[in-house]
Amino acid sequence: MAIDLCGIALEHPVINGSGTFDVIAARRVFGEALDTEFPFSAFVSKTITLEPRLGNPPPRLFETASGLINSIGLPNRGLAGYLEHDLPELSSLPVPLITNVMGSNADEVGQLFEALEGCTEIAAIELNVSCPNVKTGLDIGSDPAELSKLLGSVRSKTSKPVIVKLTPNTANVALVASAAEASGADAVSLINTLRAFAADPSRPGKAWLGGGTGGQSGPAIRSVALAQTVAVSSAVSLPIVAMGGISTAANARQFLDAGALIIAVGTESFRDPATAAQIRDGLVALS
């Protein structure tokens, strides 16, 4: 079950999806038991941005028939807060740490890369490119040319492996993945949430979520995630971290068979925090 992800030795192919497992809170509840039976072979932080963000106004979550729509809005302490408060705790986890970052332009991403470069506790960077372009309103990672430009200007600012977390909200994810590969990505991860709208039942035409629109995740997006994994794995030779509605070892197996090297568990961990451990054990049984 051991895997090499861009030179990082992992004990098995199951990690977490960014923003879906609050390991600091979980440690407070489960104490040492969490570390001895740690469910993930690497831990991915929630997205951090250069400046602190409060996130979107509530309500932030809407349950759907088969998953949820979130409009959390990336609340985080910002780079300085992450380095001071979160990193010391995250770096004591028993697995390699992948820090997820997002910037709204190359300058911000470059500053984040440079600031993390000296942090030996961080094994790799995951770059979330689902940030809206302030001019076009489209995700910056939705256009292959724009993504190439971004990576071209920031890639040299870090020697750490860079995993580009692709946005699924694009016309052709394979083209975007190819652009990431050509511009220096070491791996790609997919899928992030799909843009979605939750209607307020008591206010016709109005949004339920405080942020207006949100992102759909969970089993509802699994078939889309699988389709995008198949498309990306035929387009690039980079390692692929696949996610999107993975709830069982059988689901995980399908993503690995579709070309993923690693799979991540996201929304399902909210329903049952033991899911990732069950998937890891289930994959052994299936192999």
Ligand X SMILES: Cc1cc2nc3c(=O)[nH]c(=O)nc-3n(C[C@H](O)[C@H](O)[C@H](O)COP(=O)(O)O)c2cc1C
Q: Which residues does 202 contact at the CB level (< 8 Å), separation at least 6?
A: none
Report how far residue 184's alpha carbon sits from residue 61's, in angstroms, rounded to the nearest whole number.
35
Q: Taking contact as CB under 6 A, which single stretch among the options 35-43, 114-122, 146-154, 262-270 is the one that binds ligand X?
A: 262-270
* Count of beta carbons in the 10 Å neighbourhood of residue 135: 6
Report how far residue 221's alpha carbon sits from residue 128's, in angstroms, rounded to the nearest whole number.
18
Closer CB to ligand X, residue 31 or residue 51? 51
**170 lines the binding site for ligand X (CB under 6 A):** no
The rounded Cα 228 to chain-centroid distance in angstroms is 15
**100 lines the binding site for ligand X (CB under 6 A):** yes
- Residue 6: active-site member: no
What stretches of the chain adopt beta strand conformation (E)?
3-5, 8-10, 14-16, 43-44, 61-64, 67-70, 97-101, 122-128, 162-165, 187-190, 194-196, 214-217, 240-242, 262-265
**110 lines the binding site for ligand X (CB under 6 A):** no
Q: Which residues does 227 contact at the CB level (< 8 Å), separation at least 6?
A: none
Total of residues contacting ligand X (CB under 6 A): 26
Which residue's entry shows tokens 């923003």? 19
Binding track, positions 37-76, relative to ligand X; x by CB under 6 A = ---------xx----------------------x-x-x--
What stretches of 105-203 adopt beta strand conformation (E)?
122-128, 162-165, 187-190, 194-196
Catalytic residue, candidates 5, 98, 131, 191: 131
Q: Taking contact as CB under 6 A, which single stretch among the options 80-88, 135-143, 238-246, 251-259 is the one that binds ligand X?
A: 238-246
**193 lines the binding site for ligand X (CB under 6 A):** yes
Work out how close the CB of 34 gets to ligand X at its nearest, in angstroms, rounded to a whole number: 20
**217 lines the binding site for ligand X (CB under 6 A):** yes
Work out how close the CB of 287 gets to ligand X at its nearest, in angstroms, rounded to a whole number: 22
Q: State the residues that interact with ligand X by CB under 6 A.
A: 17-20, 46-47, 70, 72, 74, 100, 128, 165, 191-193, 217-218, 221, 243-246, 265-268
> Which residues are annotated as catalytic?
131
